[in-house]
Amino acid sequence: MITSSVPIRFICRIGYFLLPVLFSAQSTLAVSATNTASDEHIRQIVESLLKEKDKKIEQLEARIVQMERERQNSNANMPISSAPSVTVSESAPQKPEPDKISEETEAKQNAITGKLVDLGEQVEELREAAKEKGLDISGFFDVNAKTDNATDQNFSVGSVELDLEYGYDDHFAASSALVLCGNSSGADFSAPAAITCGGSGPGGIGAGGSGIAVALVDFHMFDNSIPPRGRIFNNQGFHIQAGRFDLPFSSDYQYYANKDRVTVTAPITTSRIQFGGFNGDGVRSYGSWKHLNYSVFWTDAMYANDGTSLGGRVGLTYGQNIYRTHHANPEGIEFGLSQLTDLDGDRNVRNMVYGADLSFGYGIMKLQSELLWLKAQHNLFTTVEGEDPIDRGKPNEMAYHATLIANLEKYLKHPLSAFVRYGRWQPKHRAIEDSFDGSVVGINALSQLTVGLNYKFNEYMTIKFEYTDSLGTSTQEHYFDKKLGIAQMVLAF
């Protein structure tokens, strides 16, 4: 079998090129032998030989082309042995195993979690960098969902707060808390603070939706912590402050900010007698030494637009971890006595407020309780259009509450707390001017039973669920709800 056409063609071409040489040599010998042929005869012989050569070459080339075609056809019919055969299946692709899917899902979740952790670490690095310069930044906001209520709103933003602390040196510092109230219901800001600014009183923002809850300058000895809000007795030390602040009266002042409060709403002692939380402009001093702590203040009036208020609190602690933050689960006992005197513009006593508070922690349980008594020095007059003012007598009030909190994390392995609270408000008078429209409405003694749960996902996010029942008691106030369920999400930063 011919395997290549190149050698054949090469041999043929050489042979045919040699033919005329041989014939020419033969002719030359003949001419030299006879010496009779003429030049014309020689030319004819050469031409005939060349024509015959060309014809033979064309025949050979045609044969070579034919042989090449036959070789190509024979190669096309031969099986391809150089590449291995591959069997292609037309069946559906095999599904990945469930274990592999779960592993991939877990890997993605771990990747997302890792990115969130990295982001949190970056935020902490920025905060630490700012703190090294003397500035500490924090804050929070809350979103609420309610059952049907007097505001006709089921969803609302409570408040947004930005807290700033700045230390100048070893003895001077400044602190502030800026508050923006959601007021999703559009209520007038004379309405209760729980309506306009979430479940806890924002304090000190005046008659508007935003303002400064805390802004103060601080001189301190030994204790350089100056939290804008919350518990102030964290370490032994001495402070003198001037500006705007929450009054350290009784014990609930530690929880005015929703991020610090285990429950959603404030106790009845705060919402009724303190109108959401005492907060004012003035000066105060506080400190602690061993088991004793104290606070004194002199501010603008708490119960009117004119005059001043002054007072203080003395506390005694006993037990483990005396100096702590409200984020801890302390053991031990703390007892405090408070007093506030409210003066009018002529420095006459308008109201006297007395308070006693007791906190007790042991194991997973913590008890918080308060008793407040408001003693009025002047009679209350209510006015109805077209009628003479009606004397309602002295508007004395008494309120108390007891809140029991159980930290269930030890048993459930999740940061869940349950709470139950009972509170009662007993006013001596039976009518007031409603904050909704200024009309005179009837009031009665109120009881409140509150139960709920608090789940802390992490340092930045907490979800609370709370249900409150007035146990059959009621008032004619527009914003009063006999029964109310609230879910609240608090996001801190």
pLDDT in tens, 420-477: 999 999 999 999 988 888 889 999 999 999 999 999 999 999 999 999 999 999 999 9
Mean pLDDT of the chain: 81
Q: Which residues contact 157 (CB under 8 A, 6 or more apart)?
A: 141, 142, 143, 144, 182, 184, 198
* 3-class SS of residue 83: coil
pLDDT tens per residue, range 154-189: 898 888 999 999 888 888 999 999 888 887 777 776
What's the full length of the chain, in residues?
493
pLDDT at 481 over 50: yes
Q: Which CATH class is domain 122-492?
A: mainly beta
Give the separation between CA 256 and CA 193, rounded to whole angstroms.
11
* 3-class SS of residue 345: coil
Longest dimension (CA), the chain: 172
pLDDT at 349 over 70: yes
Give the separation between CA 374 and CA 397, rounded to whole angstroms.
5
Torsion over CA: 128, 130, 133, 137 (sign): negative
User: Is 240 within 8 Å of 285 (Cβ atoms)?
Assistant: yes
- pLDDT value for 82: 45
Percent of the chain residues topping a pLDDT of 70: 74
- pLDDT value for 415: 96
Mean pLDDT of 236-246: 94
Domain boundaries, the chain: 6-71, 122-492
Q: Model-level pTM?
A: 0.72
**DSSP bridge partners of 210:** 180
Q: Which has the minimum average pLDDT: 180-189, 313-322, 384-393, 409-418?
A: 180-189
pLDDT tens per residue, range 132-160: 667 888 999 999 999 998 888 889 888 89
Between residues 60 and 165, which one has the greater pLDDT?
165
* Cβ-count burial 67-92 (b if 16+ within 10 Å, e if not): ebeeeeeeeeeeeeeeeeeeeeeeee
- pLDDT value for 130: 65
**DSSP bridge partners of 359:** 334, 368
pLDDT tens per residue, range 264-286: 999 999 999 998 889 999 999 99
- pLDDT value for 328: 53
pLDDT tens per residue, range 180-223: 888 777 777 677 777 777 655 455 454 456 678 899 999 999 88
pLDDT at 118 over 90: no
Rounded to 5, what percent of the chain is helix, strand, coil? Answer: 25, 40, 35
User: Is 159 within 8 Å of 276 (Cβ atoms)?
Assistant: no
* Cα distances (Å, whole numbers) of residue 152 to 16, 139, 158, 465: 114, 29, 15, 20
Give the separation between CA 156 and CA 184, rounded to whole angstroms.
5
Of the pLDDT bands very low, low, confident and very high (cuts 50, 70, 90), residue 61 is confident
Q: Which residues contact 200 (CB under 8 A, 6 or more apart)?
A: 158, 159, 193, 194, 255, 256, 257, 258, 261, 265, 266, 276, 277
Between residues 113 and 389, which one has the greater pLDDT?
389
Q: Which amino acid appears at position 273 of this protein?
A: I
